[in-house]
Amino acid sequence: MSVSLSRYLVEQQRERGAITPELRLLLEVVARACKGISHSVNKGALGGVLGSAGSENVQGEVQKKLDLIANEVLIEANEWGGHLAAMASEEMETIHLIPNRYPQGEYLLLFDPLDGSSNIDVNVSIGTIFSVLKKPEGGAGVSEADFLQPGTQQVAAGYCVYGPQTTFVLTVGDGVSMFTLDREQGSFVLTQENVRIPKDTKEFAINMSNMRHWDSPVKRYIDECLMGSEGPRGKDFNMRWIASMVADVHRILTRGGVFLYPWDKREPGKPGKLRLMYEANPMSWLVEQAGGAATNGRERILNIQPKTLHERVSVVLGSKNEVDLVTKYHLGS
Ligand code: AHG
Ligand code: MN
Ligand code: MN
């Protein structure tokens, strides 16, 4: 008998006490929004959704049409349910308050509406990443400061990958589960529970074109992987780089591996490329919940106290023994 996401969530609430009814509604709504985004992604050129929107976001990146469509779908789906206090997105400079005409809830939702934008027009896997926090107790209204909580405070996190299959991946702190979209039924069906990342791997993911800009611990780690069975690692490594974090993390949750988007010398003032609150935190929690690890090269990502909504971070995540080795190289230098 197949288990739908709805049933899974009801059981998480009723039998395991892992989520509240409001959080269950929130997750249902996010999954429904992802279904809508999946539909637009699938239409591609037929839906007129490809190409640039002709605008830039707060990080100075050119916005694609689908970045904005996905952002709108998530906002519209989540505004009226009464479960949210506010939302924040890669594509919006400041937080999005719930309009006065709707009731307000106690949760805060953060998202990267469309991850892997450079892959949209070339028909390669892309995704949506989300993180859920609780609004701190006390204080009327909601402000950006309410969002600035370390990743350890997340109450739910996940992503949806729009690839050959559309897969919704979720943690509420009780392991990682995967749900595949059944287009005939129109619902997500549980296809893997208790996802585990092997501790060791022979596969790394990094954008090698940045090699000359890397810091020495990263260079050392990758050099040693490249030396293969004749080098200090004593085994041959394979490499993958999809340039959609969702797709790279999905591979790592499925068969292991290590993913690095480290700080580099191109923009030394920035801690990295990826955003802490709606890319690194949700992915780090998923990876930890599956037995892997996630650091910025020096400390656990989930322990970082965010200072701003769009702050960036250096990311090393995946199979535990590899992440530990990269972290050791950083701390030793
Ligand atoms: P986004 O499309 O949300 O801006 O994120 C893209 C990110 C991430 O998904 C991916 O791992 C990385 O950028 C790829 O960067 P490079 O093009 O520098 O390899
Ligand atoms: Mn992204
Ligand atoms: Mn994005």
**How confident is the model over 65-78, as pLDDT tens digits?**
999 999 999 999 99
Nearest partner of 84 among 23, 136, 145, judged by Cα: 23
Separation of 101 CA from ligand 1 center, angstroms?
A: 37
Nearest partner of 36 among 188, 190, 193, judged by Cα: 188
Sign of the dihedral through C-alpha 91, 96, 98, 100: negative
Alpha helix ranges (H) inside the chain = 5-14, 21-43, 65-79, 144-147, 216-226, 245-255, 281-289, 320-332
> Was domain 5-192 assigned CATH 3.40.605.10?
no
Ligand 1: which residue has its CA nearest to atom 3?
115
Separation of 80 CA from ligand 1 center, angstroms?
A: 31
Look at residue 333 in the predicted model and tell me its pLDDT. 58
**How would you write the pLDDT of the chain (333 residues) with one tens digit per residue?**
899 999 999 999 998 888 999 999 999 999 999 999 999 999 999 999 999 999 999 888 899 999 999 999 999 999 999 999 999 999 999 999 999 999 999 999 999 999 999 999 999 999 999 999 999 998 789 999 999 999 999 999 999 999 999 999 999 999 999 999 999 999 999 999 999 999 999 999 999 999 999 999 999 999 999 999 999 999 999 999 999 999 999 999 999 999 999 999 999 999 999 999 999 999 999 999 999 999 999 999 999 999 999 999 999 999 999 999 999 999 995
Separation of 161 CA from ligand 1 center, angstroms?
A: 14
Q: What is the pTM of this model?
A: 0.98
Phi, psi of 149 (to 5 degrees): -115, 145
Ligand closest in space to the Cα of 261? 1
Long-range contacts of residues 250-253, Cβ cutoff 8 Å, at least 24 apart: 250/125, 250/127, 250/159, 250/161, 250/163, 250/167, 250/169, 251/205, 252/197, 252/205, 252/287, 252/292, 252/317, 252/318, 252/319, 253/169, 253/176, 253/178, 253/195, 253/197, 253/286, 253/287, 253/290
Separation of 10 CA from ligand 1 center, angstroms?
A: 34
Separation of 273 CA from ligand 1 center, angstroms?
A: 8
Ligand 1, CB cutoff 6 Å, lining residues: 61, 90, 112, 115-118, 207, 243-245, 261, 273
> Was domain 203-332 assigned CATH 3.40.462.10?
no
How far is the C-alpha of 223 from the C-alpha of 232, rounded, in Å?
10
Which atom of ligand 1 has the smallest separation from the CA of 246? 9
Q: Where are the domains of the chain?
A: 5-192, 203-332
Which atom of ligand 1 has the smallest separation from the CA of 129? 3
What is the best residue among 274, 310, 313 to mutate for testing ligand 1's pocket, by most ligand atoms within 8 Å of CB? 274
In this chain, the answer to whether the domains covering 5-192 and 203-332 adopt an identical fold is no
Protein residues placing their CB within 5 Å of the ion ligand 3: 90, 112, 114-115
Separation of 91 CA from ligand 3 center, angstroms?
A: 7
